[in-house]
Chain A
Amino acid sequence: MELTAIHPGVYLLYYFIMVLFAFIFSDPYFVISFLILILVLISLQGVSSELKNIMKFFIPLSLLIIILNPLLNRTGAHKIYLMQNFFVTYEAIAYGVLMSLALLIVILVFSSYNRSVSYQEMLYIFSKKLPIISMIIVMALRFIPLINSRAIEVQKLNNLKTNGIESNLNDDADNDNNVNINDGDNANDNANDNDNKLDLEEYDSNISSMDFNPDSRVLNKIKSSKRFQKIAKEAKVLGKIMGITVSWSLEESMFTAKSMKARGYNSNERTSYLSFKFGLADIIFLAIIFITVSIVVFGLIQGYGIINIYPSIDFSFSDLPLNIYYLAFIVFLLPLIYLEIRERMLWH
């Protein structure tokens, strides 16, 4: 949202309550309306590529929950027999579905939160109370991509060392037999062929097999097996890559530290360049949150919005939740959707 300025603190409170609600409510009407409204909000905010990635991971996970829960959990009054002796319970299925829906809602809420509040704004909220931690987070956000890109460079170089380049330039005629670096498989074959070359790792293994020790015979046998050697070798290479990356990064970090010091870090109490004013929109937003949440919580205490699943499910789709508590719940979820829609109209 660009046309409305809302204080990040208000956002934080709002989304925090949403996450709580996602875990508390179990009435299918509440859960499904929650899901629909949050989907509407997300689609208005725009679907990010991260969300797509998360969903790729989430869909199999939720299926797993829905399938596994009835298989592992046999409590519940309504039994559904699939085979002679094998049954699942209606309650366990319902619980699995509701649980995966709750998880989905939480993921969507976080994704929407990322859209609404940039991490800088979030840090602004925390920087006053926890200045050191917020500074560390900022530095980590810079450092992690940096160390990642360095690791990629180191790894590239390592590829060159392990895959020897050998191929024939003049044998153009039999192109298919030509060992070509472009083919990943061939390159690997090359690497295997080169295995018998002199290598420090092999010295190590030779020495360990030389000193005879009956107890370690089994161990040696494992060690000498090809598979183990391959894994050990890979682990060593990985260790080396990590070692180079870390020592390189530490060396560079020295300059980062110097540059921080040179620019007066720690010479005074830190302030922030971000500033957010608490405006009329924030007050209205807070008022809506306060009123609706207090109604909803009042309803919750009386049992609206929650159903008992175990031992016996006490819900039927015919009990429509036509009451003020449901209405308040819907109103609680609407403000951001309203703001997004209004923004679209203003742009046109």
Chain B
Amino acid sequence: MALIEFDNFSFSYLNSDGTHSQEKSLKDINLEINYGDFVLLCGPSGCGKTTLLTNLKKELMPNGKREGSIKYNGVDIFNLDDLSSACDIGYLFQNPDSQIVTDTVIQEIAFPLENIGLPTEEIRNRISEIVAFFGINDILHKNVNELSGGQKQLVNLCSLLVLRPKVLLLDEPMSQLDPIASYEFLSIVRRLNEELSITVIMSEHKADSIFPFIDKAIFLKDGQIEFDNNAHDICQEVISDDVFENYLPAVTKIYNGLSNKYNSSPNGPFSNNENPLSKLNTPLSIREGRRCLNIIHDDLIKINEGRLKNTNSDSDNLFITNKKYHSNRISLKDKLPFSNGKNDLVKMNGIYFAYEKNNLILKNIDFKLSKGEFVSLVGGNGVGKSTFLQLLVGILKPIKGKVKYNKNLKIAYVHQNPMIHFSKDTVKEEFLESIISSNSFSADEFNKENYDDLLKLDGENFIQSKMLNDIKFKNIGYGFKELIDFFGIGDLVEKHPYDCSGGEQQKIVILKALLQNTDLLVLDEPTKGLDPISSKNLAEILNSLIDNGLTILMTSHDLDFVANNCRRCLMLFDKDLQIDDDPKVIFAENNFYTTFVNRMVKDYIPEAVTLDDVKAIWNI
């Protein structure tokens, strides 16, 4: 018998006026999840992942109309008693901060146990057990404010596990974490699944590292299950689907490209009569991927030789001197102050910064940003990336050193958390506020009445209104309506900003920043929590803005995004800008801190960092 059974389950939310929404958020879900399964739930934002997960937890069920049934252990989820629902099913939210209730770690872990009324002795036994299992003795008595995001999420997980749950529902638990913390978190979840056979249902956008050990992947779209299969088979089913193809691991995509090549062209370098890859299962991890490449090793070498002959490179040195991929380093002359800097927007000279005495965050940083650059800042967690940005835009003042700006430079800064930018009731008011603050309206034309008139217009007319579309943005080259269409947020202008999803909020704040008629756009983690498709869209938007003369500086943990889009990449390490170069060069040289694609094909084409690189070189 399956542990969780969905039987023709449908769900529609209540509207704000109390009527039932006609649109179903979940449609005819039929699903079986067995004991000890590790299930991955994928799909674009707003496809019903969270709705599906919350419907499994009695305490969190949203209001709305349900059809069909969900059975847990043979019992309808509605008929579970409070205590066993609270204990058996654990639910972890996205944001590590907002779900912490108390202020010390031990109290937080004890909190659920106190809730269910266990005697003190039993509570202490369970805490000691969980602390030993996770090795979090050091942080047990710490205040939660002192913990990193990854540690907080770990504490949240511990706080669920002390109840000894049979099922863990994880709702994008790693979307707010940096890659290293994500790996750590994931390895723990995997351990729980393997060693304690806890059933895990996890929704996540960046599935590369999860695919290798899942039992089942479920791909949701518009409230319906589009695909539901084990990891190997689902890759084959999904590979040609526009939407879900983005969720597959890079390894699988490369494999598939190579495999297709064998099938389509029996001649040429791939001259074998049969496809040697077809015997294998679809690879999911880098390890399996490398094994595949090894099988066709000779063929790949052949391609490589052909390629190198064309470019007249010395093939012997290829694997020895990685350094050759280095672009021209910034010469000493450029670093000196008397160099001609007409295009420099911002210049930082010898910046020192610390939040507390004797604890420097940044030390002697020199940095120059020129017009039209697309720069990304990478580095581990807590290394001072956000601090660097805030120093650059002038929110923080350096302890020593100077930041100089080009004349009349306008900077727009977008915080990690989009919510911090919203103060009005509707999105259109937010837009108007930014436009007004940018002085784009001429003073005699625009007054309070116009403002009220504009607000009275409904969404469509607001976007079309002449007043707004007459404004010229100097660095963007689009009108107001074009911008809205470009971001695809036309139907949001009448909503409250808090009602929009995370990805939508991100777009609104970036647009708000653009409307300030800015020269330099500074983005702190814009890719955080975005689904792959939104992330692709964002990349397109940013790239076309760059083409129109905007300058962008962003931080990111998403190495693929950086490698695909940025032209200059800074790596912050040990209080200093350690590397400042083309991202492709950086990742080609790195062995650990690099993209999945690069890790997979490093032995054959070390300079290939993105999927497009590989596709171009191997012609797949």
Chain B residue nearest to A160 in the complex (CB) = B395
Q: Does A215 contact B (CB under 8 A)?
A: no
Q: How far is the CA of A270 from the CA of B114 in the complex (A)?
A: 5
Q: Does B446 contact A (CB under 8 A)?
A: yes
B98 cross-chain contacts in A, Cβ below 8 A: 252-253, 255-256, 259
* Interface contact B120-A142, CB-CB below 8 Å: no
Q: How far does the Cβ of B87 sit from chain A's closest Cβ, in whole Å?
A: 7
Q: Given A157-B413, A160-B393, are A200 and B451 also a contact pair (CB < 8 Å)?
A: yes
Chain A residue nearest to B406 in the complex (CB) = A169
* Interface contact B407-A168, CB-CB below 8 Å: yes
Q: How far is the CA of A248 from the CA of B420 in the complex (A)?
A: 7
A154 cross-chain contacts in B, Cβ below 8 A: 420
Give A305-317 as 1s and 0s: 1 = Cβ < 8 Å from B's Cβ atoms.
Answer: 0000000000000
Q: How far is the CA of A169 from the CA of B370 in the complex (A)?
A: 12
Give B77-120 as 1s and 0s: 1 = Cβ < 8 Å from A's Cβ atoms.
Answer: 00000110011001101010111111110110011111111111
Interface residue from B121, B127, B408 paired with A166 (Cβ < 8 Å): B408
Interface residue from A157, A172, A203, A264 paired with B415 (Cβ < 8 Å): A157
* Interface contact A271-B123, CB-CB below 8 Å: yes
Q: Does A298 contact B (CB under 8 A)?
A: no
Q: Does B342 contact A (CB under 8 A)?
A: yes
Q: Given A169-B404, A258-B93, A274-B120, are A200 and B101 also a contact pair (CB < 8 Å)?
A: no
In B386-408, which residues have CB < 8 Å from any A CB? 390, 393-398, 402-408
Interface pick from A1-9, A73-81, A239-247: A239-247
Q: Does A130 contact B (CB under 8 A)?
A: no
Q: Does A261 contact B (CB under 8 A)?
A: yes
Interface residue from A166, A168, A247, A273 paired with B110 (Cβ < 8 Å): A273
Q: Does B226 contact A (CB under 8 A)?
A: no
* Interface contact A159-B395, CB-CB below 8 Å: yes
Chain A residue nearest to B394 in the complex (CB) = A181
Chain B residue nearest to A153 in the complex (CB) = B420
In B542-578, which residues have CB < 8 Å from any A CB? none
* Interface contact B86-A262, CB-CB below 8 Å: yes
Q: How far is the CA of A172 from the CA of B402 in the complex (A)?
A: 12
Most buried by A among B106, B127, B395, B498: B395
Q: How far is the CA of A138 from the CA of B114 in the complex (A)?
A: 13
* Interface contact A268-B498, CB-CB below 8 Å: no
A165 cross-chain contacts in B, Cβ below 8 A: 393-394, 405, 409-411
Interface residue from A120, A164, A255, A273 paired with B124 (Cβ < 8 Å): A273
Give B434-455 as 1s and 0s: 1 = Cβ < 8 Å from A's Cβ atoms.
Answer: 0011010101001110010000
Q: Given A153-B415, A258-B60, are A263 and B451 also a contact pair (CB < 8 Å)?
A: no
* Interface contact B117-A260, CB-CB below 8 Å: no
* Interface contact B60-A256, CB-CB below 8 Å: no
Q: Does A272 contact B (CB under 8 A)?
A: yes
Interface residue from A139, A160, A252 paired with B97 (Cβ < 8 Å): A252
Interface residue from B160, B344, B390, B410 paired with A263 (Cβ < 8 Å): B160
Q: Does A230 contact B (CB under 8 A)?
A: no
Q: How far is the CA of A156 from the CA of B120 in the complex (A)?
A: 44
Q: How far is the CA of A120 from the CA of B106 in the complex (A)?
A: 11
B394 cross-chain contacts in A, Cβ below 8 A: 159-160, 163, 165, 181
Interface residue from A157, A172, A269, A270 paired with B395 (Cβ < 8 Å): A157
Q: Does B341 contact A (CB under 8 A)?
A: yes
Q: How far does the Cβ of A277 sit from chain B's closest Cβ, in whole Å?
A: 11
A120 cross-chain contacts in B, Cβ below 8 A: 104, 107
Q: Does B419 contact A (CB under 8 A)?
A: yes
Q: Does B347 contact A (CB under 8 A)?
A: yes
Q: Does B59 contact A (CB under 8 A)?
A: yes
A168 cross-chain contacts in B, Cβ below 8 A: 404-407
Q: How far is the CA of A164 from the CA of B87 in the complex (A)?
A: 54
* Interface contact B60-A255, CB-CB below 8 Å: no
In A114-146, which residues have CB < 8 Å from any B CB? 120, 138-139, 141-142, 145-146
Q: How far is the CA of A67 from the CA of B443 in the complex (A)?
A: 59
* Interface contact B93-A139, CB-CB below 8 Å: no
Q: How far does the Cβ of B278 sit from chain A's closest Cβ, in whole Å?
A: 46
Q: How far is the CA of A261 from the CA of B62 in the complex (A)?
A: 13
Q: How far does the Cβ of A308 sit from chain B's closest Cβ, in whole Å?
A: 48
In A169-217, which residues have CB < 8 Å from any B CB? 169-170, 172, 178, 180-182, 184, 197-200, 203-204, 206-207
* Interface contact A267-B82, CB-CB below 8 Å: yes
Q: Does A227 contact B (CB under 8 A)?
A: no
* Interface contact B107-A138, CB-CB below 8 Å: yes
Chain B residue nearest to A200 in the complex (CB) = B436
* Interface contact B420-A273, CB-CB below 8 Å: no
Q: Given A139-B102, A200-B436, are A166 and B407 also a contact pair (CB < 8 Å)?
A: yes
In B434-493, which residues have CB < 8 Å from any A CB? 436-437, 439, 441, 443, 446-448, 451
Q: How far is the CA of A247 from the CA of B422 in the complex (A)?
A: 9
Q: Given A156-B396, A269-B117, A270-B117, are A199 and B436 also a contact pair (CB < 8 Å)?
A: yes
B402 cross-chain contacts in A, Cβ below 8 A: 180, 182
Q: Does A302 contact B (CB under 8 A)?
A: no
Chain A residue nearest to B113 in the complex (CB) = A273
Q: How far is the CA of A141 from the CA of B112 in the complex (A)?
A: 18
Q: Given A262-B86, A263-B86, A271-B119, are A207 and B406 also a contact pair (CB < 8 Å)?
A: no
Chain B residue nearest to A255 in the complex (CB) = B98
Chain A residue nearest to B408 in the complex (CB) = A166
Q: How far does the Cβ of B249 sit from chain A's closest Cβ, in whole Å?
A: 30
Q: How far is the CA of A145 from the CA of B146 in the complex (A)?
A: 11
Q: How far does the Cβ of B149 sit from chain A's closest Cβ, in whole Å?
A: 14
Q: How far does the Cβ of B356 sit from chain A's closest Cβ, in whole Å?
A: 13
Q: Given A168-B406, A264-B86, A264-B112, are A138 and B120 also a contact pair (CB < 8 Å)?
A: no
In A288-331, which residues have CB < 8 Å from any B CB? none
* Interface contact B407-A156, CB-CB below 8 Å: no
Q: Does A275 contact B (CB under 8 A)?
A: yes
* Interface contact A263-B112, CB-CB below 8 Å: yes
B93 cross-chain contacts in A, Cβ below 8 A: 255, 258-259
Interface residue from B59, B114, B421, B423 paired with A272 (Cβ < 8 Å): B114
A264 cross-chain contacts in B, Cβ below 8 A: 59, 82-83, 86-87, 112, 115-116, 163
Q: Does A33 contact B (CB under 8 A)?
A: no
* Interface contact A167-B451, CB-CB below 8 Å: no
Q: How far does the Cβ of B359 sit from chain A's closest Cβ, in whole Å?
A: 16
Q: Does A266 contact B (CB under 8 A)?
A: yes
* Interface contact B423-A268, CB-CB below 8 Å: no
A258 cross-chain contacts in B, Cβ below 8 A: 59-60, 93, 99
* Interface contact A267-B446, CB-CB below 8 Å: no
* Interface contact B145-A145, CB-CB below 8 Å: yes
A156 cross-chain contacts in B, Cβ below 8 A: 390, 395-396
Q: How far is the CA of A308 from the CA of B308 in the complex (A)?
A: 104
* Interface contact A260-B101, CB-CB below 8 Å: yes
A50 cross-chain contacts in B, Cβ below 8 A: none
Residues of chain B touching chain A, judged by Cβ–Cβ distance below 8 Å, are 57, 59-60, 82-83, 86-87, 90-91, 93, 95, 97-104, 106-107, 110-121, 123-124, 127, 144-145, 156, 159-160, 163, 337, 341-342, 344-347, 390, 393-398, 402-411, 413, 415, 417, 419-423, 433, 436-437, 439, 441, 443, 446-448, 451, 498
A to B CB contacts below 8 Å, 28 in the list: A138-B107, A139-B101, A139-B102, A157-B395, A160-B413, A163-B394, A165-B411, A169-B341, A182-B402, A204-B448, A207-B448, A240-B423, A247-B422, A253-B98, A260-B111, A261-B60, A264-B82, A264-B112, A266-B115, A268-B117, A269-B117, A271-B113, A271-B119, A271-B120, A271-B123, A272-B120, A273-B110, A274-B120
Residues of chain A touching chain B, judged by Cβ–Cβ distance below 8 Å, are 120, 138-139, 141-142, 145-146, 149-150, 153-154, 156-157, 159-161, 163-170, 172, 178, 180-182, 184, 197-200, 203-204, 206-207, 240, 243-244, 247-248, 251-253, 255-256, 258-275
Closest 9 interchain pairs by CB? A264-B86, A268-B117, A259-B99, A273-B110, A263-B112, A203-B448, A255-B98, A252-B98, A142-B103
Extra inter-chain contacts (12) besides given A163-B394, A203-B447, A251-B498, CB under 8 Å: A141-B102, A145-B145, A198-B446, A207-B448, A248-B419, A256-B99, A259-B98, A262-B91, A267-B82, A267-B86, A268-B116, A270-B114
